[in-house]
A and B are shown apart, each in its own frame.
Chain A
Amino acid sequence: MRVLIVDDEKLARDRLRELLNEIGGHTVVGEGANGNEAVEKAAELNPDVVLTDIRMPRMDGLEAAMHLMGMENPPMVIFTTAYDQHALHAFEVNAVDYLLKPIRKDRLAAALDKAKKLTLQQLHEINQAQESPQARTHISVHLRGNIRLVPVQDILYFMADSKYVTVRTTGEEHLIEDSLVNLEKEFGEKVFLRIHRNALVATGYIKGIEKSTAGNWQVALTGLEKKLDVSRRHAAAVRRWARR
């Protein structure tokens, strides 16, 4: 099988590579040091299996796996971890395979033999079981079979139309298949504030709230010329937020 190894510790990656050599029959197609690299390299190299650590800088292994599941042909994922009580319990419950560090050769071989594709549902439940369930750090955008990771902190707003949600950053616009309700629930109103039935804006980018000449409230965002309308239903909540 074609394997992608992801761990932020170089020696941990070396160990996996050596163990895979000894087991035989597998090719290591690449290595990554964090979740972002896992997603980018997986999109580029199309591995059969991704072996990933859970705790990593920038994006952790769980989130990376979630983004991978959005791929056209998602790889199988096996998690490796030193010690994550809460996650381990969730792995057991959701029948997701994992390897404990220090990693044993026979366990690794067995895991590769019976590796199966994960579902988003399984990953969500594992994330919920974490000590503090975490929102994604990135939104994955699919462009002609490729994956683009947009850091959540770069996003100005989400705008929904009939079928898609538009993700707007200072420089770009992307379409994703998600719902504002889900996004709102995931990130909470500290990060994204609902200002309209079809719009969530990043609180960190709100420059001001003003009244337009037409008499309705509008939100001005840093790095964006156009102002976004606040619906009458959400006006009170938005102004309450502004007073804080």
Chain B
Amino acid sequence: MAFDTSKLATWSLQAREQFTSGARLLRDRLLPRAADVTGRLLRLFAPAPATTGDDTHFLPNFCRGNAIGGIVLIAELLAIVITLVTRRISENLFQDLLLVSLFVQWIALSGAATLCAARRFLDRLPNSRALGFAYLLLLGVVLVVSEAAVWVMWLVGMVGSPRPEWYAYFHIQNFTVAAIINALALRYFLARHQLRQRTLSEARAKIEVLRSRIRPHFLFNTMNIIASLIRSAPDKAETAVVDMADLFRSMLADSENLVPVGNEVAIAKKYLDIEMLRLDNRLRVDWHVGKFPRKAVMPILILQPLLENAIQHGIEPIPTGGTIDVQLREENDIIHILVTNPLPRARSKPAMAPLASERALDNLRLRLESHYGKAARIEIVQEPERFSVAVEIPIRGETA
């Protein structure tokens, strides 16, 4: 058989043309649409921008257009799935899809409208109860719409009676599917809400940590003191500025950093020098620092917050001030730190909120835990006129 090469060339040309035009169609028409759909899907699943109103409640605002758009999209996808997996109910697939879509959209939109109407009420409930109520409401909507659908079919003459033989099956089937789909949807909203809450509270915690470290009150008071010293004692002002710089550099350092014990003591002393400028002769400190192996290290800023706490709650509230006792020693590869401060007379008002102290020590406890697990200890001893914090941390960095 003779092989007609010219015919083959024409075919291949035609095929190529068809292929390119198909590709063009794909590129020009379908891709943007697909991108659009993907974008919508992504937007649907992306956490909504946090507004103050949405902060505490997990249900999206179903009164808003974009939420309803999302609902319609999901409902349509569900309708397609249902049409594909169920047996035929009419002559062809598209008519099936049309009927199923009509029904599913009806339920979905009624559900959204119900949640929109009930929003005020649901928002006032605690989350767990709002969840339960929303679920019941949605199931109720399914029952009502299913019943209404049967009546509509009877009225238009599609079925012979308002109680066709598949009546019970229809209700049970719809109810079961709705129970599952709604549970999934609510579960998704709740998870999204929890994720958003966690992100928010993590961000807040980070700011809180930074603020508790830098303590604005201390910062601005010291600036004021430095402004005063620049006139009267420029050399002292210079030292104070340099000390502040060192102190803030370590405050901004990664809290994972380990520093030699000597450095930590040096930073603490610089901090105390600044506080002594501020508090004048009200602050006295007794240091008892034992011998440490040269390579012994500890997490940065463990000692300084203890001293800050002692000053804030033990020295500042007492008009005549007092003495802070600081002990650091090493024993059996454990670093022992003990900071003791006097307390103001009982029942007199502390100048600062007492909670701040607990918060500062809690922060320290958390940090020690993350560094050493159970190996580190922090213990608080409160007596009527004395307050002490003992910290024990395993020595590290020693090359045995």
Contacts and interface: CB of A to CB of B under 8 A. Distances in A.
B375 interface: no
B216 to A, nearest CB: 4
Contacts of A137: 348-349
B252 interface: no
Interface string B319-356: 10000000000000000000000001111110111000
A48 interface: no
A3 B223 CA distance: 23
A9 interface: yes
Contacts of A56: 351
B229 A11 contact: yes
B69 to A, nearest CB: 41
Contacts of B280: 9-11
Interface string A6-41: 001111101100100000000000000110000000
A56 B221 CA distance: 12
A241 B296 CA distance: 54
B220 interface: yes
Interface residues of A, number: 31
The listed residue with most B CB atoms (<10 A of its CB), out of A9, A11, A58, is A11
A115 interface: no
B305 interface: no
Interface string A161-186: 00000000000000000000000000
A16 to B, nearest CB: 9
A135 B349 CA distance: 9
Contact of B278 (A11, A18, A57, A102): A11
Nearest to B356: A131
Contact of B224 (A58, A102, A153): A102
Contact of B223 (A14, A57, A101, A153): A101
Interface in B204-242: 216-221, 223-229, 231-232
A87 B294 CA distance: 48
A134 to B, nearest CB: 6
A131 B220 contact: no
Given A101-B223, A131-B353, A58 B231 contact: no
A58 to B, nearest CB: 6
B318 interface: yes
Secondary structure call for the B interface: helix
A153 B219 CA distance: 33
B277 interface: yes
B355 to A, nearest CB: 8
A196 interface: no
Contacts of B130: none
Interface string B48-67: 00000000000000000000
A132 B224 contact: no
Given A11-B278, A132-B353, A137-B348, A83 B319 contact: no
B264 interface: no
B296 to A, nearest CB: 36
Contacts of B351: 55-58, 60
Contact of A57 (B220, B316, B346): B316
Given A18-B231, A55-B351, A11 B216 contact: no
B317 interface: yes
Secondary structure call for the A interface: loop
A55 B228 contact: no
B224 A134 contact: no
Given A57-B316, A103-B224, A153 B347 contact: yes
B251 interface: no
B116 interface: no
B216 A83 contact: yes
A57 B232 contact: no
A14 B220 CA distance: 16
B186 interface: no
Contacts of A103: 224, 227
A100 interface: yes
A134 B316 CA distance: 18
Given A55-B351, A56-B351, A57-B316, A15 B228 contact: yes
B324 to A, nearest CB: 16
Nearest to A80: B224
Nearest to A100: B220
B339 to A, nearest CB: 20
A82 interface: yes
Give the top 8 A-B pairs by smallest Cβ distance, nearest first: A15-B228, A82-B220, A101-B224, A83-B216, A102-B224, A82-B221, A102-B227, A153-B347
28 contacts: A8-B319, A9-B224, A9-B225, A9-B279, A11-B224, A11-B278, A15-B224, A15-B227, A18-B231, A34-B319, A55-B316, A55-B351, A55-B352, A57-B318, A58-B317, A58-B351, A82-B221, A83-B216, A83-B217, A83-B219, A84-B217, A100-B220, A101-B220, A102-B220, A132-B353, A137-B348, A153-B347, A204-B347
Interface of B: 216-221, 223-229, 231-232, 277-280, 316-319, 344-349, 351-353
Given A58-B351, A153-B347, 12 more contacts: A9-B279, A11-B229, A55-B316, A56-B351, A57-B344, A57-B351, A58-B317, A82-B220, A83-B220, A100-B220, A103-B224, A131-B353
